[in-house]
Amino acid sequence: MDRKMKRLLLLVISCSVTGVVLGGTASWAESSLCLQNSNVTNECLTLDPIQKTIEGMSTGLVAGAGAACGAAWRLRHED
C-alpha cells in the first residue's frame, strides 16, 4: 500500500469514527429529551432508545465516510 492510499484510508476511518460518535450522541440526546418533554407522544414511548442510537450511529458512519470521500475527491481534482 502506498502512502497516498494509507492517508486516504486514515481519512475515511477517522471521519467515519467521528460520524459514529456524533450520530450516536445526537440520537441518544434526542431520545432523552423526548422523554423529558412536557407532552410525551406515543412515538416517543414506543421507540427503543438503544435502537434509535444505533440508527444514529449508522447514519453518522455513512455521513462521515461520504464526507471523507468527497473531501478526497475534491483535493484530488484541485491538484
**Which three cell numbers mark 36?**
423529558
Q: How far apart are CA 56 and CA 73, in angstroms?
A: 25
> Of 46, 65, 47, whose CA–CA distance to 57 is shortest?
65
**Residue linked to cell 462521515:** 64
- The 10s digit of each residue's pLDDT in 19-72 is 999 999 999 988 888 878 888 788 777 888 889 899 999 999 999 999 999 988
Whole-number pLDDT of residue 35: 78
Whole-number pLDDT of residue 17: 95
Whole-number pLDDT of residue 60: 95
Whole-number pLDDT of residue 16: 94
Domain assignments of the chain as residue spans, ordered by start: 20-78
